[in-house]
Amino acid sequence: MSTVVDERLRRLRNELDDHSRIADRLGLDLERPLRSLNDGYPENAVALVGKLTEKLLKELWRHHSVEGDPSTKALNDLVKRCRPYIRSSTVLDALDDIRRLRNRSTHDGYDISDEDGLLAVRRLVDVLVWFTDTGSAALLGGEPDMAPEVARRCEFLAGLYVTLGYRQAKRFVLSPDTVYQLFCRESGMRLEYVELMLSQDADDLNTVLASNGGELLRTRLPKLTRFVVLDDDSDGSADSGALHQMLGLDFRIVRYDGFVDAIVNLDNHLAPLVSAINHADSRATVAAATLTADPRTGESQVVQSGDAAELLARLARGSANVLVTGRPGSGKSTLLRALAADPEVRRFRFYFDLGLKPKNERFSEYAGRLLAPAMTPSDRSRAYDLFLYLIRSGTALCVLDAVDEGVEESSPAGFLRLFTDLAAVLSAESAVVMSSRVSFLADSPQVRQLLDSGAGRSEQLVEQMYANGLDPARVPHFHVVRLAEPEATPLEKQLTAALELPSGQALADILGAHIERTLAEHGHPDLERRLPATFGQAFLTDRTVFSLVDLFRQLGAEAFTDGRLDLDACVLAPLLRPAGDEHVAFVHTAYQELLAARYLAEPANRNTAADLPRGAFLTEQVRAFLAGMPGTPQAEDCVLPAGSYLVGPAERLLIRRIERPVRFDRQAVTAARYRRFLDALNADGTSRWDRPDQPAHITHRPPTDRLRHPDYYENPRYDAHPAVCVSWWGAYAFAAFEGKRLPTALEWEAAARGVDGRLFPWGDTPAGTHVNCADSWVGHPLVTYQAWYRDFAGDNVRRAGVTPVTERPGNCSPFGILDMVGNCWEWTSTSLADLGEAVICGGSYDNPMRAVQASSKSVYRKHGASNAVGFRCVQDLDSDTGGTEETAA
């Protein structure tokens, strides 16, 4: 063994000697791992460290009365179940390292090195240091002469200072109600000390000090910070004079429940909230419902309803984790700010607006940066560690506003990465309250499962969580508080009243009026035309915070009055809020989203957005604003022009380019049209228009045993019905037979949604008379899986089916293409990773309205034949080629 390793072993042995009390009490042989390393068996050292750690965690398990028998549990289970009772991130990281090394050492073929063994022992020392320095009764054993409440408070304060980099130098139990603690840390070339005297009773403290004449406290340590910490119910006012006379004036007498204020001033951290609340209509009552997920289906069910503020406060006081959802302007931020500012809710409260967090900045860095100004100067580098310690104490509230704006991309994968970054916060014992827009929860089952541990997470999601370094067990259950959707949201009511506008106007019109009036009042109405290019384009690159210098450069000197470069002098000041030193953001994201929609309304700008290297950052509100703008071009020639189109589901909106124009069939291929193709088939059901790679067993004749009506292709009554029970190979061959091809999934969706990205071919509003879907067969909306199963899956599903393609003229896209959603799914030429499957679009008669949007997609095996799957063809207008296919990874 090398000299360096020998020296490290010697140091570790000396450090382990400091923990003999724990070793003696629990019967731990701390020397054995060191002997194994010294003998050249690091794998044994790792295994022994794992066994020692198991003993420590079993004791912790028993101390906290965790349900179950720890004696039968392995290390992985012990770490998982004991995690909520360990406040130190250092200890949690140490346990993860020990578990990782121990798990690796059990796999054949993995070579355990001396370095691995040394690391395992080092991490064991980190665990022991925490429990020794905090005086935790969990491992050190109870102290019969100390009151339990005093012991708990001593452990909390000791953990607080250990988190700040101190070590406990001295600890004396002076009486059951009074304890002395001395902490020390290195700071450059000097040592810093903190001296605490914790007492539950001021009279007891006086008695203790009088009995020894204060000799214990007459220290000569340099730069000593000295505190007397009294019980919550003792203000020390009556006895402060006597205490100071005995202790000296260099002691500060503080209450226990306010002691943390000596390290971090949370009032300063929350000060901006008070200002924001004063400017908001926080008195308005907002109705809400608390939802829970069915453990079998994952569908949401209402469990209680009432005033949103009362529901939130009740859940937060009970340590519940909450996700607040609602559409823009529904009052989410106002509610969360009021909750974080309420001292009655929680002892420690933190508020972070993730909409202002740079996407390339980790949450730990962002939170540390925001909290640092509230810390004492010498402790600012440990701001995030202190934050984690306090929220793991179970006495804090952490508010994460605008979670949906804090993701790198609006997709399940993007949210998974964000939750990985937030894992330490989400798994804390304190209450975590987040806010997001409805689409974040409603439109992504994966994300909904991610936040509901009881919703039966899929194996695929669990694998993705592990692949991203996120332990599924560390993301707890979240209650959902969904804000009601009244005719006018609090934001709309507030602005309508302030601007004296007629009631009932759309949000886009209200925000637009506010922007117009603000600029007009400052004498610069001409600036409005520059805003989309400045702020709208920036939003597409996920930029929501601007420096005042940026505004000066992009909007010109006329954007500021009197030449002053500050927020108050900016002509847009009523629309902006501070976002750090010399930086601003809009008071509500919807303003910038409206400007992004105005920017995208220009075809040239959509092309620019489509070419962004990482893709455009889009939200459902941008899409909704764009879809609501007047003047959307309409056509009746069924031609999809070349250009850029907004596509994708609400949680993953994209802008994609169509390179060349194509003409769609106005209607889906009918049974009558397909019959002509059947007459041209070979005897074995194949044709000369087949793809060269078509499997040998394929026939293009629809299987009569699968058709709901065996005479479907012979009986004239079905001539106008869509051709169904046609495989992808048959649809491909038919298209070639007519000199056409199948559309790509991108072409299909663009043709259904138009240039404004509407939800349905006719617009954004559901219309039961326009579409053949499950809702139309039962006569009312089916908003949950339970409703669909109860009202449609029985007799109705047996009588429901496809109807003539000419029956619903209102189901018409902006290009004159009919019946693109509902009735039957339609084949496309797009394949995913499995080339034996192809994408189908549009939904069918047995899907609820919410599943037959223009973005609805699924995959189906190419040789499949279903009564709910048909197709239509397209023809290239600038080429004589017969087919184009798209393969999506």
Condensed to tens digits (0 to 9), the pLDDT of residues 746-757 reads 999 999 999 999
The pLDDT tens digits for 823-833 are: 999 999 999 88
Burial of 871 (0-12, 13-18, 19+ CB in 10 A): buried
Q: State the Cα–Cα distance between residues 455 and 741, nearest whole angstrom.
A: 42
| pLDDT higher at 618 or 795 | 618
E strand intervals along 446-520? 479-483
Report helix angle 363-371 to 383-392, nearest 10.
Answer: 100
Given a contact cutoff of 8 angstroms between Cβ atoms, the answer to whether 776 and 848 are in contact is no
Mean pLDDT of 309-325: 87
837 beta partners = 861
What is the phi/psi pair of residue 229, to 5°? -110, 120
b/e burial code for range 207-228 (CB count within 10 A of at least 16 → b): ebbeeeeeeebeeeeeeebbbb
- Long-range contacts, 416-422 (Cβ 8 Å, 24+): 416/450, 416/464, 416/465, 416/468, 416/470, 417/468, 419/450, 419/470, 419/475, 420/468, 420/469, 420/470, 421/362, 421/363, 421/364, 422/363
Mean pLDDT of 535-545: 93
User: What pLDDT is recorded for position 277?
Assistant: 67
Q: What is the CATH number of domain 266-483?
A: 3.40.50
What is the phi/psi pair of residue 810, to 5°? -70, -20
The three-state (H, E, C) secondary structure of 771-832, written as one string: CCCHHHHHCCCCCCHHHHHHHCCCHHHHHCCCCCCCCCCCCECCCCCECCCCCCEEECCEEC
| pLDDT higher at 844 or 615 | 844
**Confidence band (pLDDT; 50, 70, 90) for 887?**
very low
The pLDDT tens digits for 559-570 are: 998 888 889 999
Q: State the Cα–Cα distance between residues 653 and 803, nearest whole angstrom.
A: 31
SS3 category, 262: helix
Percent residues over pLDDT 70 in the chain:
88
The pLDDT tens digits for 438-449 are: 766 555 666 666
User: What pLDDT is recorded for position 881?
Assistant: 43
**Of the candidates 537, 517, 539, the residue with the CA atom closest to the CA atom of residue 527:** 517
User: What pLDDT is recorded for position 404?
Assistant: 84
CB-facing half-sphere around the CA of 169: CA atoms within 13 A: 14
| pLDDT higher at 419 or 857 | 857
Given a contact cutoff of 8 angstroms between Cβ atoms, the answer to whether 293 and 450 are in contact is no
Q: What is the mean pLDDT of the chain?
A: 86
Distance between start and end Cα atoms, the chain: 51
Element counts in the chain: helices (H) and strands (E): 35, 26
Q: Which CATH class is domain 634-889?
A: alpha beta
Q: Which of 73-82, 281-290, 631-640 has the lowest mean pLDDT?
A: 281-290
User: What pLDDT is recorded for position 238?
Assistant: 46
Cα-to-chain-centroid distance, residue 365: 17
What is the phi/psi pair of residue 665, to 5°? -60, 135
User: What ranges do the domains of the chain cover?
Assistant: 3-139, 148-262, 266-483, 492-610, 634-889
CA angle at 599 for the pair 595 and 601, rounded to the nearest 5°: 115
What is the phi/psi pair of residue 526, to 5°? -70, -15
Report helix angle 671-679 to 728-737, nearest 10.
Answer: 80
Q: What is the CATH number of domain 148-262?
A: 3.40.1350
Q: State the Cα–Cα distance between residues 185 and 772, nearest whole angstrom.
A: 73
Cα-to-chain-centroid distance, residue 691: 45
Given a contact cutoff of 8 angstroms between Cβ atoms, the answer to whether 104 and 75 are in contact is no
Assess whether the region 148-262 and the region 266-483 belong to the same CATH fold.
Answer: no
**Confidence band (pLDDT; 50, 70, 90) for 661?**
very high
The three-state (H, E, C) secondary structure of 325-394, written as one string: ECCCCCCHHHHHHHHHHCCCCCCEEEEEEHHHCCCCCCHHHHHHHHHHHHECHHHHHHHHHHHHHHHHCC
CA dihedral in degrees (20, 22, 25, 26; nearest 10)?
A: -120
User: What pLDDT is recorded for position 283?
Assistant: 54
Q: Which of 125-129, 310-314, 448-452, 586-590 has the lowest mean pLDDT?
A: 448-452
**Of the candidates 324, 259, 320, the residue with the CA atom closest to the CA atom of residue 287:** 324
Q: State the Cα–Cα distance between residues 539 and 594, nearest whole angstrom.
A: 10
Task: Tally Cβ neighbours within 10 Å of residue 63.
Answer: 16
Mean pLDDT of 22-26: 86
**Confidence band (pLDDT; 50, 70, 90) for 868?**
very high
Given a contact cutoff of 8 angstroms between Cβ atoms, the answer to whether 383 and 367 are in contact is yes
Given a contact cutoff of 8 angstroms between Cβ atoms, the answer to whether 546 and 583 are in contact is yes
Q: Is the pLDDT of residue 239 over 80?
A: no
SS3 category, 300: strand
b/e burial code for range 826-844 (CB count within 10 A of at least 16 → b): bbbbbbeeeeebbbbbbbb
Burial of 161 (0-12, 13-18, 19+ CB in 10 A): buried
**Of the candidates 619, 658, 601, 607, the residue with the CA atom closest to the CA atom of residue 540:** 619
Q: State the Cα–Cα distance between residues 453 and 554, nearest whole angstrom.
A: 47
Q: Is the pLDDT of residue 13 over 60?
A: yes
**Of the candidates 724, 736, 766, 775, the residue with the CA atom closest to the CA atom of residue 854:** 766
Is the pTM value of this prediction over 0.85? Answer: no
**Of the candidates 316, 320, 318, 319, the residue with the CA atom closest to the CA atom of residue 336:** 316
Q: Going by DSSP bridges, is the β-strand pair 886-887/830-831 parallel, antiparallel, or unpaired?
A: parallel
Rounded alpha-carbon distances, angstroms, from residue 679 to 674, 683, 706, 736: 9, 10, 20, 15
**Of the candidates 171, 222, 219, the residue with the CA atom closest to the CA atom of residue 197:** 171
401 beta partners = 353
User: What pLDDT is recorded for position 84?
Assistant: 81
User: What pLDDT is recorded for position 773?
Assistant: 93
Cα-to-chain-centroid distance, residue 258: 33
**Of the candidates 479, 429, 433, the residue with the CA atom closest to the CA atom of residue 452:** 479
Side chain identity at residue 16, one-letter code: L
User: What pLDDT is recorded for position 880?
Assistant: 46
The pLDDT tens digits for 772-824 are: 999 889 888 887 666 787 888 877 778 889 999 999 999 999 999 999 999 99
**Confidence band (pLDDT; 50, 70, 90) for 882?**
very low
Side chain identity at residue 744, one-letter code: T
Side chain identity at residue 483, one-letter code: L
Mean pLDDT of 292-300: 61
CA dihedral in degrees (822, 506, 621, 603; nearest 10)?
A: 80
Task: Tally Cβ neighbours within 10 Å of residue 697.
Answer: 8
Specify the residue for token string 């764009």.
Answer: 626
Specify the residue for token string 């067969």.
Answer: 777
Q: Which of 411-415, 454-458, 767-771 has the lowest mean pLDDT?
A: 454-458
Cα dihedral 249, 251, 252, 253 sign:
negative
Q: Domain 3-139 in CATH: superfamily?
A: Nucleotidyltransferases  domain 2 (1.20.120.330)
Segment holding 657, helix H or strand E: strand 654-658
Q: State the Cα–Cα distance between residues 832 and 886, nearest whole angstrom.
A: 9
